[in-house]
A and B are shown apart, each in its own frame.
Chain A
Amino acid sequence: MFASLAEKLQNTLRRLRGKGKLSEKDVDLALREIRLALLEADVNFKVVKDFVVGIRERAVGEEVRRSLTPGQQVVKIVHEELTALMGREQSKIILSGSPAVVMLAGLQGSGKTTTAVKLAVNLSRSGRKPLLVAADTYRPGAAEQLQVLADTAELPCYRNDGAAPLQICREAVRLAEREGYEPVILDTAGRLHLDDAMMDELKTIKAQLKPAELLLVVDAMTGQDAVNAASAFHEALGLTGVILTKLDGDVRGGAALSVRTVTGCPIKFAGVGEKIDALEPFHPERMASRILGMGDLLTLIEKAEAGFDQEKARQLEQKLRRQEFTLDDFLEQLQQVRQMGNMEDILAMLPAAQVPKDLQRLQVDEKQFGRIEALITSMTPQERNNPAIINSSRRRRIAGGSGNTVQDLNRLLSQFSQMKKLFKQVGSMEKKGFKHIGKGKRGFPFF
């Protein structure tokens, strides 16, 4: 849907290739595209305005590195500035006080209840004994929802339906003191920042319980209004951080930048799926890439590193380089990729422009893995090594033998060749400096 900013800039600045310094004209040309790209990513209009002014100041007159085109140079600057704005470093959750209290707040439907449980799961895995507190007494079924999720995660949940939120929170803290739970995570009701009475309720809870963290839960799909809600919550409550939710879709998440800019608070976590452990630390640099439409290669690489057998990965790399990738490797790879998580998530992390069109539409659900496995294992070793020999009579045999249709097989074969093409591209990206990011340098690998 969205051509990457890098690609657009490449086109805009094509004629300027090879110049020594960025002129005012180059920069202005580039800034128009950057402005649009940021707006399309839902960064707030005013935030964009200020940001673009800053970029202009920095970029004009800057030396263009020999290895880069002017377009690349500008994107590099934008990427660096975005990362800087977003906080550069990963920001950790602070758990001080005894017991430490973590309070979640936000608009309706931003994902507080789910996030509360995910956060508790995350903290319990690092050795804490969190207590979840159902302080949303307004939405029907909210306490029940928290309870069910807590039960699933085998975590304690305090509720006292019918009591006022402040009372529930106080009781929970007393319980935590007695039983040694820590931290106490307060799931509050969703509310509008315009609703003074409801905001006062949060102020009172904050004043009484003195939470170590007061985190605003923000839907990553939020548009221009993110600044209004975030600044109102911050003004009323004094936030300590932000959790970004629903980041597992195709959203570019410009709201992250808006919220960060108007509150100055770090984004601490990102919700990335429906499972109760789908909460990740927030990486400013990766978010910068995502907002710019450059994909999230770093996360992908990290996931790959965690899930891949290093030796096998090395062998695979060799094969990829030599273009000797076979269906057997494809199968093995799919099995490994499966360990990394959902295929769509993985594809979503690739920079849009680098993924072939057909592959973007590639629909792999878990059942299909089984089908692909059956298809490939029904082939002879010869066929797996050289799919080109699979003629129509072989097709019928393979399809019949694996309990699939010839169409299924055809689809697999075309996906395989697409994938081969993609790897070829990744391979050539690597030559252009793809390796840098693996080592955590501020390389500029894309395009």
Chain B
Amino acid sequence: MNLSLVERFKTGLARSKEGFLRRLDHLFRGGELDDEFYDDLEETLILGDVGVEASLKLVEKLRLESKRRKVRERGQAREILVQEIAALLAGAAEPVKPAGEPLVILLVGVNGSGKTTTAAKLAHRYRQEGREVLLVAGDTFRAAAVEQLQIWAERAGAALIKQQPGSDPSAVFFDALQAARARHIDVVIGDTAGRLHTRTNLMEELKKINRVIDRVQPGAPHCVLLVIDATTGHNGIAQALHFNEAVPVTGLVLTKLDGTARGGIVVGIQDILKVPVCYVGIGEKIGDLLPFAADDFARALLA
């Protein structure tokens, strides 16, 4: 497996489309813009987990747009949709580090979405750029989550602030931000415990973390990234709504995109939260995190 990252990403995407490729090739290669075409398109979107509502909306919009622009060819119509989806999801800018203070990034999400691994990968990215990185072991609940992050921190060459399991995560963040200042850290990356968005007390805990961070360093966290597993179905929408209500989400990380799932739920989420997808996770290695490429993603979703 000596593939470069981009190649790996591409093969990942290629695998994702395997099942649909043949049928869709037929679908887009010439032919009328008839109901069958639109129905198939709808099916493709739904199969990609774009969500029923968002899929219907996108296809309806495409119908109108094709009519308006007098498009007659399937390939052309498809391109319009690709552009539409790409435009929806793009717009992630590299967060700017505030002068004299560390950039603070907070990772949130449901259990098993990949927060800890993403925290490590992000740390690695910033380390590659020569930044001083501090990881915060904010998951004090899950057994051995701290150990997991510690191992990653060593691999990434990042500092780590941790406390005893079961301690108040807000206190860990308090410590971490103090330490970050003292040690002239550039980027603070906070891992948090996975929580189902329906657990009120855990969402309150998240609000508290956010408040404490803001108190120690006004204006922080600068990025709150919601980590979404690419296999997630419609529940992703509810996750986005609830997490955003607790802590204003500034961007998404789409993980596990190296499987067969196409992660279309981010389209539906974007429709509600209006935040860009910032990164995609495409493997278990520390380097397997890439900036989101909206165009490639949209193409893979439809192809």
Contacts and interface: CB of A to CB of B under 8 A. Distances in A.
Contacts of A111: 111-112
Most buried by A among B165, B235, B261: B235
Contacts of A142: 144, 148
A141 interface: yes
A194 interface: yes
A390 B52 CA distance: 48
Given A42-B233, A148-B143, A365-B204, A108 B196 contact: no
Contacts of B251: none
Contacts of A45: 43, 46-47
Contact of B234 (A147, A152, A248, A252): A252
Interface in B135-181: 141-145, 147-152, 165
A250 B235 contact: yes
Contact of A223 (B19, B113, B152, B232): B232
Q: Do most interface residues of chain B lie in helix, strand or loop, or is the interface mixed? A: loop
Contacts of B149: 141
B229 interface: yes
B121 interface: no
Interface in A126-144: 138-142, 144
B201 interface: yes
Contacts of A80: none
B17 interface: no
Nearest to B147: A141
Given A1-B238, A223-B265, A109 B43 contact: no
Contacts of A348: 198
B53 to A, nearest CB: 8
Most buried by A among B46, B141, B234: B234
B236 to A, nearest CB: 8
A193 B261 CA distance: 11
Contacts of A110: 112
Nearest to A249: B196
Given A140-B147, A222-B232, A228 B112 contact: no
Nearest to B196: A249
A55 to B, nearest CB: 18
A41 to B, nearest CB: 7
Contacts of A39: 46, 52
Given A111-B112, A145-B142, A366-B201, A249 B235 contact: yes
Contacts of B148: 139-142, 144-145
Contacts of A1: 238
Interface residues of B, number: 51
Interface in A36-71: 36, 39-42, 44-45
A40 B52 CA distance: 6
A194 B260 contact: yes
B264 to A, nearest CB: 8
Given A45-B47, A109-B113, A141 B231 contact: no
B258 interface: yes
Give the interface size bracket for A toward B: 35 or more
Nearest to B44: A45
Contacts of B190: none
Contact of A40 (B114, B150, B234, B284): B234
Contact of A246 (B111, B141, B151): B111
A108 B47 contact: no
B151 A225 contact: no
A295 interface: no
Contacts of A251: 235
Interface string A207-240: 0000000000001011111101100000000000
A42 B234 contact: yes
Contact of A249 (B141, B152, B198): B198
Interface in B9-24: 15, 19
B256 interface: yes
A109 B112 contact: yes
Nearest to B283: A192
A111 B235 CA distance: 17
B76 interface: no
A193 B204 CA distance: 37
Nearest to A36: B52
Given A108-B256, A225-B230, A252-B235, 5 more contacts: A109-B229, A222-B233, A226-B231, A246-B111, A348-B198
Interface of B: 15, 19, 43, 46-49, 51-53, 110-114, 141-145, 147-152, 165, 196-201, 204, 229-236, 238, 256, 258-262, 265, 284
17 contacts: A39-B52, A41-B234, A42-B234, A108-B112, A109-B112, A144-B147, A145-B143, A147-B144, A148-B144, A221-B110, A221-B235, A223-B232, A223-B236, A225-B261, A344-B198, A344-B200, A348-B198
- Kindly list the 6 A-B residue pairs having the minimum CB-CB distance in the complex, ordered from nearest: A223-B233, A109-B112, A141-B148, A42-B233, A225-B261, A145-B144
Interface of A: 1, 36, 39-42, 44-45, 107-111, 138-142, 144-149, 152, 192-194, 219, 221-226, 228-229, 246, 248-252, 254-255, 274, 344, 348, 363-366
